[in-house]
Structure 1
Amino acid sequence: MATYDPFRDLDRLASSFLDTRRGPRRMPMDLYRDGDHYVLTADLPGIDPGSVDIDVDGQLLTIRAERTLSAGDGVKWITREREAASFLRQLNLGQGIDTERISASYDNGVLSVTIPVSEKAKPRKIAVSTASDSQVVQAHESGADEPQPIEQ
């Protein structure tokens, strides 16, 4: 059974009037590794895909986006809870990332960035050799009856 909380609506109203965050806001995101690449997904509902800017400077990935709201002339607002806003997220990629092949797409309000792992950073097997693996070469000396092995 849900209980009525008269302060919940008052708190929501006060926070909307007293919200002092005028700078860039953080966007909620998920990051996971899938095989040989990382996938970053970020919620950016209502964003024009043309406003999304993604750049890499060294090992720093920066994502910027703008949400603008149109207000028609002569419009009388009844309620307006959606705001125009700037969004910013920066990630330090670290070593082992192929920054030349990073790609991004935007679909249904979700930005997806694919970050491939560089070839050098991918796991690989190292062959282990043993002393018995060395090659034996047979050579004939002139006048010798039996070939003598020469180890290399």
Structure 2
Amino acid sequence: MATYDPFREMERLFNNVTTRTPASVGMPMDLYRTGDNFVAQIDLPGVDPSTIDIDMDGDTVTIRAERTPSVASDASWLTRERAVGTFARQLTLGRGLATDKISADYSDGVLTLTIPVAETAKPRKIEVQHSSRSLNVAGEVADDQDGSEQSNSSTEGQQA
């Protein structure tokens, strides 16, 4: 049976209150690839869509949004866990993405960025051409297409 340590419990509570990850500050995100697109889904509940600002600078996308309090200013708070204010998050994009074709949609409190893979970065097949030129036994080039370069001596290759 473990003994109760009030100092350990106080430290645990203090760490829970003061430790904040980027996701807990107001913009948690999921990022995944589906087909030829990367998709970022960023939770922005309670954000007015007109406050969402997305900027592209080089290979960095910056997303800013503002959540304003929806409670009267004279409210007496008992607990306040929902952050208000301006939030920002940056994504550094790699090469091979069509940054000029990024699209954004805000629906049901989720901002969805769709980032397509550039055509030049997509896998592709390279067709193998087949020619009918071949070497005969003597090492001479024989062209089966027009017959002009075929060897007329079959004994030359056997003597070597």
Say yes or no: does 1:38 pair with 2:38.
yes
CA distance in 2, matches of 1:133, 1:48: 70
- 1:45-84 matched pairs, under 5 angstroms: 45-72=45-72, 75-81=74-80, 82-84=82-84
Q: What TM-score do you get using the length of structure 2 for normalisation?
A: 0.65
Do the aligned partners of 1:29 and 1:43 also contact (CA within 8 Å) in 2? Answer: yes
Q: State the AA in 2 paired with 1:11.
A: L
Using structure 1 for the length normalisation, give the TM-score: 0.68
Corresponding letter in the other structure for 1:44: L
Between the aligned partners of 1:58 and 1:133, the Cα distance in structure 2 is 50
The 1:85–1:133 alpha-carbon spacing in structure 2 relative to 1, beyond 3 Å, is farther
Rg larger for: 2
What CA distance in whole angstroms lies between the structure 1 residues aligned with 2:75 and 2:31?
41
Gaps of 5+ in 1: 1-5, 139-147
Change (3 A) 1:19 1:36: closer
Q: Take 2:133 and 2:89, find their aligned partners in 1: how far apart are those partners?
A: 54
- Deviation, structure 1 residue 128: 2.5
Q: Equivalents in 2 of 1:94, 1:131: separation in Å?
A: 40
Distance change in 2, residues 1:99/1:133 (3 Å): farther
Structure number with greater CO (CA < 8 Å, separation at least 6) is: 1
TM-superposition CA deviations, 1:72-129 (whole Å, max 9, x none)? 36x4335351331322111111111111110001111111000011110011011223
Partner of 2:13: 11
List aligned pairs for 1:1-152, cutoff 5 A: 11=13, 15=17, 25=25, 27-72=27-72, 75-81=74-80, 82-132=82-132, 138=146, 148-149=147-148
